[in-house]
Chains A and B, each alone.
Chain A
Amino acid sequence: MTFKATLLAGTATALIALAGMAVADGHATHPVTGDVLASDQSFTYRVLDDFPSIDPQLIQDVSGSEVARDLFEGLMNEDAEGNVIPGVATGYEVSEDGLVYTFTLREDAKWSDGVQVTAQQFVDGIKRAADPATASEYAWFLGVTGIVNAEAVTAGEMPVDALGVRAIDDLTLEITIDAPRPYFPQTTTFPTLFPARLDVIEANGDDWTDPANIVSNGAYVLEEYVPQERLVRVRNEMYWNNDATIIDQVTALIINDENAALTRYLAGELDMTDIPAGQFPRLSEEYPDQAISFPNSCSYYYMFNLSDSGLEALQDVRVRQALSMAVDRDIIVDNVLAGGQRAAYTFTHWAIPGWEVPDIPMANMTQAERNEQAKALIAEAGYGEDNPLEVEIVYNTSDSHRAIAVAISQMWKQTLGVEATLANQEWATYLDTRGEQNYEIARGGWCADYAEPSTYLDLFTTTSSYNDGKYSNAEVDALMQEAKLSEDPLPLYQRVEEIAAADAAIIPIYHYASVRMMSANLENWPTENLLQNWYSRDLYISASE
């Protein structure tokens, strides 16, 4: 597979060029890459579970967002590298204090029923997401955007009209935020902030997302939705940039079992599916042009319960250091997962744009050196053969989590004589266990909400509600506070990582990768978009060579 993603940066020029699709030898070719296009431009991919919702203001999962980005269009979009580019808005202006954003909407943006897309519909969408009556679980995201009064409105302390959003006229939208947040424009690519057609929603109630009722403003419209089976979207003829769209039909097949999905991929029923853990080496040998791996912005780690209910031994930084050092990440990444993941010694995913991983002493040692140091540390803390440390690792039920826990418990046993027991728990129980600090060591995974280190590092702050380990360090809290208003927060973030590493706040284990089978003819997949915010309208199917 060749990646021409960089060539099609989604820029206006490329899109204009696309408008006149060249025809050579009776076959259409791609205006930028010159590839001959397949006559059948349909794309079929697998999703793990049914969509909890496809209502933009209610969506809170990745696969629902993928559907929403095809069906609807927000103020801004992302290009293949994750840069923010114009969507319904042609651009925006920021006030000098960084608090007021004024978006200008394009005139030719229309809904699938021909109605023009207006600033008021964006206001309606944001208000709908914040409104307690909507009871959107994703209302918290408006707090991340920093839109003025969003949290108070959701808490029912202020009327919905108090939100910092205002339609100046049909094509001008003003959004006021509470503090300068350089990542704010990117948050407008989230479905939560998409426009809403209150007339359609009111007329149909909860059924407004049915294919028969739904009206959308994106490149596609919903053609068919059979819950638990398939969701089909086809071209929206009213979309302002419809001429530049190549893929005609997008089908999401809901397949719970990843091995069944792989079989169906190999039988030609799918263009894209995930590779089950451990199968990447075999598949990349058999299908070198289809098995691919690229960074995925999540980090896998073990957390210590540092609250009062935690194990006393783990309050000792030497014990935590020893446990962290004795984990041979290379074995986990190369032998257990074997899908292009990367060993982690710090929390923030290495591929976050603008991030430079700080120099952590442990990262530069060999595993033998780490093991030596770990042994010394745990002996110093008073644990050894006569007095072995006993810990329990809690993880949510899954084959790969178990495999990793087994490997780590073996490493701890061999190097440190630690007796680790494994406890797997069903998902909701596990979350409860973690949230109530009912554990000693627990597995964790964290994915970026936006492409900036604070999406990870906020977890180290004392007040974070996601800080299930209850790690607390005043210096970290101060640095994170300072970073929010800093012109150049990178050194501050690096310092936080260094402190967290020195404290062994968590055991970073690896940084995720997307490990996929992808049809050799599916082109322009944005592998460099770290958050994997892809748009079907940017893809195309090339003719088989």
Chain B
Amino acid sequence: MFSFIVRRIAVAIPTLLILILISFVLMFAAPGGPFTNERPLPEAVMNNVMERYGLDDPYPVQMFNYVKNIVLHFDFGPSFQYRDRTVNDVIAQGFPVTLTYGFWSFVVAIGVGVSLGVAAAIRHNSWLDYLAVGISIGAQVLPNFVMAPILLLVFTLWLGWLPGGGWNGGQWNYVIMPVIALSTSYMASIARITRSSMLEVLNSGFIRTAKAKGLPMRRIIWRHALKPAMLPVLSYLGPAFVAMITGSVVVDVYFSTGGIGQFFVNSAFNRDYSVIMGITILVGALTILFNLLVDIAYAWIDPKIRY
């Protein structure tokens, strides 16, 4: 197990380097640059700006310096769009926000999704099953860019219960709508996966044996069925968790939460090279980390899996 983890981390480093390389190539291949403006800058001004940010160096030099600064100083460079801030500032400010609403979305998505899925599987083909399937399909087809404005209308304008946006240091009433908007579709997927995998497990031999031994249903579900039924859910959760804690541009745009989701998109529009890279690396590193955690969790849940 230990050597497995070491091996995975050793692979992670070249993976990240390749990610950086590809991102660099794509970034520089895109037309325009960070200082492309409706009023083209006079040459002298453009030269000053390019020199200040080292953008006049050849691409390989830029990439080498970039990686060097990260490795030696953990410095992801200045933002080109937000002149008063560095990429470290941008991430330090935005990531905790995203982490907070992403974490709660994850909790809600799992809690509600798994319960719905299990309930539907146990009462297969009953009204409860249909209701759960209905809810999850409904939640799946309602995209969050439709849900967000509806939530705003209902809870802010009509009922006046919740503030329409902002973060306010993560005060609970500012977190509710982002969490609902973000968690719904994940919740729906988790419910569907849980239901079908639970149905499969409930029809398998060892459950029949457990029933034959006369174990109470509750005990069968909790002790025997849930764990194996969670395997497919687990492989979904790794990437889903990373997606949630690295935010959602829709949530950030509609609720002005200030998370990094919007930076991910806006920095690409602004050609804010260093912010694009910083967030890409963050998301890449988190994805690698959580995939590793999922693999470890597999071994724990299913004794048949050995590394």
Using a CB–CB cutoff of 8 Å, the interface residues on chain A facing chain B are: 49-55, 58, 132, 135-137, 139-140, 143, 151, 154-156, 206-207, 209, 226-230, 253-257, 259-260, 263-264, 266-267, 269, 426-429, 431-433, 435, 445, 465-466
What 9 A-B pairs have minimum CB-CB distances, sorted nearest first?
A428-B32, A155-B44, A228-B258, A264-B164, A135-B52, A432-B31, A53-B83, A229-B258, A135-B48
Question: In the assembly, what is the distance between CA of A237 and CA of B266, in Å?
Answer: 38
Task: Please tell me if the beta carbons of A135 and B37 are within 8 angstroms of each other in the complex.
Answer: no
Instruction: Point out the residues of chain B lying under 8 angstroms from A257, CB to CB.
Output: 253-254
Binary contact track B42-61/A, C-beta < 8 Å → 1, others 0? 11110111011100000000
Instruction: Point out the residues of chain B lying under 8 angstroms from A229, CB to CB.
Output: 166-167, 256-258
Does B233 count as interface, using CB distance less than 8 angstroms?
A: no
Question: In the assembly, what is the distance between CA of A54 and CA of B82, in Å?
Answer: 9
Does B77 count as interface, using CB distance less than 8 angstroms?
A: no
Chain B nearest CB, measured from A296 CB (Å): 16
Task: Please tell me if the beta carbons of B31 and A428 are within 8 angstroms of each other in the complex.
Answer: yes
Chain A nearest CB, measured from B114 CB (Å): 32
Question: In the assembly, what is the distance between CA of A230 and CA of B262, in Å?
Answer: 15
Question: In the assembly, what is the distance between CA of A366 and CA of B78, in Å?
Answer: 56
Question: In the assembly, what is the distance between CA of A295 and CA of B243, in Å?
Answer: 44
Task: Please tell me if the beta carbons of A139 and B258 are within 8 angstroms of each other in the complex.
Answer: no
Chain A nearest CB, measured from B268 CB (Å): 9
Instruction: Point out the residues of chain B lying under 8 angstroms from A266, CB to CB.
Output: 157
Instruction: Point out the residues of chain A lying under 8 angstroms from B49, CB to CB.
Output: 135, 137
With A140-B41, A228-B262, A263-B157 as given contacts, are A426 and B269 in contact (CB-CB < 8 Å)? yes
Question: In the assembly, what is the distance between CA of A401 and CA of B235, in Å?
Answer: 43
Does B30 count as interface, using CB distance less than 8 angstroms?
A: yes
Task: Please tell me if the beta carbons of A226 and B160 are within 8 angstroms of each other in the complex.
Answer: no
Question: In the assembly, what is the distance between CA of A519 and CA of B32, in Å?
Answer: 40
Question: In the assembly, what is the distance between CA of A425 and CA of B304, in Å?
Answer: 53
If A154-B44, A260-B254, A432-B36 are given as contacts, then 16 extra A-B residue pairs at C-beta distance below 8 Å, sorted by A number, are A132-B44, A132-B51, A135-B48, A135-B53, A139-B48, A140-B42, A151-B44, A155-B43, A206-B85, A207-B84, A226-B167, A226-B258, A259-B149, A263-B164, A431-B32, A433-B31
With A139-B48, A156-B44 as given contacts, are A227 and B90 in contact (CB-CB < 8 Å)? yes
Task: Please tell me if the beta carbons of A228 and B165 are within 8 angstroms of each other in the complex.
Answer: no
With A52-B81, A209-B84, A428-B271 as given contacts, are A267 and B40 in contact (CB-CB < 8 Å)? no
Instruction: Point out the residues of chain B lying under 8 angstroms from A49, CB to CB.
Output: 266
Chain A nearest CB, measured from B34 CB (Å): 9
Using a CB–CB cutoff of 8 Å, the interface residues on chain B facing chain A are: 30-33, 35-45, 47-49, 51-53, 78, 81-86, 89-90, 93-94, 148-149, 152-153, 156-157, 160, 163-167, 252-259, 262-263, 266, 269-271
Q: Counting chain A CB atoms within 10 Å of each CB, which of B94, B148, B163, B164 scores highest?
A: B164
Instruction: Point out the residues of chain B lying under 8 angstroms from A429, CB to CB.
Output: 30-32
Instruction: Point out the residues of chain B lying under 8 angstroms from A264, CB to CB.
Output: 152, 156, 164-165
Question: In the assembly, what is the distance between CA of A427 and CA of B305, in Å?
Answer: 50
Q: Counting chain B CB atoms within 10 Å of each CB, which of A230, A257, A269 scores highest?
A: A257
Question: In the assembly, what is the distance between CA of A415 and CA of B196, in Å?
Answer: 60
Question: In the assembly, what is the distance between CA of A426 and CA of B266, in Å?
Answer: 11
With A140-B45, A259-B149 as given contacts, are A428 and B252 in contact (CB-CB < 8 Å)? no
Chain A nearest CB, measured from B17 CB (Å): 27
A465 interface neighbour in B40, B165, B253, B256, Cβ under 8 Å: B40
Instruction: Point out the residues of chain A lying under 8 angstroms from B83, CB to CB.
Output: 52-53, 55, 58, 206
Could you jot down 15 A-B contacts, CB within 8 Å?
A: A50-B82, A54-B84, A137-B41, A151-B42, A228-B257, A255-B165, A256-B252, A257-B253, A260-B165, A267-B157, A267-B164, A428-B36, A429-B30, A431-B38, A465-B40
With A52-B82, A428-B32, A431-B36 as given contacts, are A228 and B42 in contact (CB-CB < 8 Å)? no
Instruction: Point out the residues of chain B lying under 8 angstroms from A465, CB to CB.
Output: 39-40, 42
Task: Please tell me if the beta carbons of A137 and B45 are within 8 angstroms of each other in the complex.
Answer: yes
Task: Please tell me if the beta carbons of B93 and A227 are within 8 angstroms of each other in the complex.
Answer: yes
